[in-house]
Amino acid sequence: MEVTKRPGGRSARVRDAVRKATLAELAEHGFRGLTVENVAERSGVHKTTVYRRWGNVEGLIADALELAAGEPWPIPDTGTVEGDLRGVVELVRSGFEDPELGPVSSAFVAAAMQSPEAARALHAFFEARHDQSAQVVRRGVERGELPVTVDAREVIRVAVAPVYYRLFVAHESVSRRDADRAADAALAAARAGVL
């Protein structure tokens, strides 16, 4: 992020207002319906100001994304790798199903597909998420449930990938059972020493 030369006062207020408005607009109208003008009006900040500081719609999203990347999320701890991994995947699935979070998250993915800036932000976001989630795999290794050679982050990737694939590429629905199955498949591969 750029260095804010005047972090206190109006600049900060403007920034917060715009961020909030971006998330609200995203939740209401999705990525397609997100325009700089609407965000400006909703936030009470002048259009020109938003253009100057954020550049365009993708800039708004990239900024909101960095905000979201900072927030931690609840890593499950059920006592077994199987339960934990299922929990992680289910968390992803249900997140996109949530009527409030879903559209926002989807918008992030859509935006990253068109804007290098948003893509970089999303990449960093998943980097962080993978690191956090990999913890459930590492715990499994410590318990002796998985071979020590396992690539923890890769297990997470393989586990969640089918959910994203169904949602954003093949455009199929994703049931809880589908999510469980994806987690189980990653686990089976890990146990077999493939990952």
Chain residues in the site for a second copy (CB under 8 A)? 31-32, 106, 109-110, 112-114, 119-120, 122-123, 126, 130, 154, 157-158, 160-162, 164-166, 168-172, 181-182, 184-189, 191-192, 194-195
**Of residues 7-26, those binding DNA (CB under 7 A):** 7-11, 14-15
Q: Does 99 bind DNA (CB under 7 A)?
A: no
Stretch that binds DNA, among 38-46, 101-109, 120-128, 177-185 (CB under 7 A): 38-46
Pick one of a second copy, DNA, none as the site partner of residue 36 (Cβ within 5 to 8 A by kind): DNA
Residues 6+ apart with CB under 8 A from 165: none
Backbone conformation region of residue 78, classed left if phi is above 0, alpha if psi is from -120 to 50, else beta: alpha
Q: Is 88 within 8 Å of 142 (Cβ atoms)?
A: no
Site for DNA (CB under 7 A): which residue of 20, 29, 42, 56? 56
Stretch that binds DNA, among 3-11, 115-123, 128-136, 160-168 (CB under 7 A): 3-11
Q: Does 44 bind DNA (CB under 7 A)?
A: yes
Which two tokens mark 154?
Answer: 């890769």
Angle of CA points 43, 49, 53, to nearest 5°: 105
Residues 6+ apart with CB under 8 A from 125: 65, 68, 69, 108
Burial of 126 (0-12, 13-18, 19+ CB in 10 A): middle
Cβ closer to DNA: 3 or 169? 3
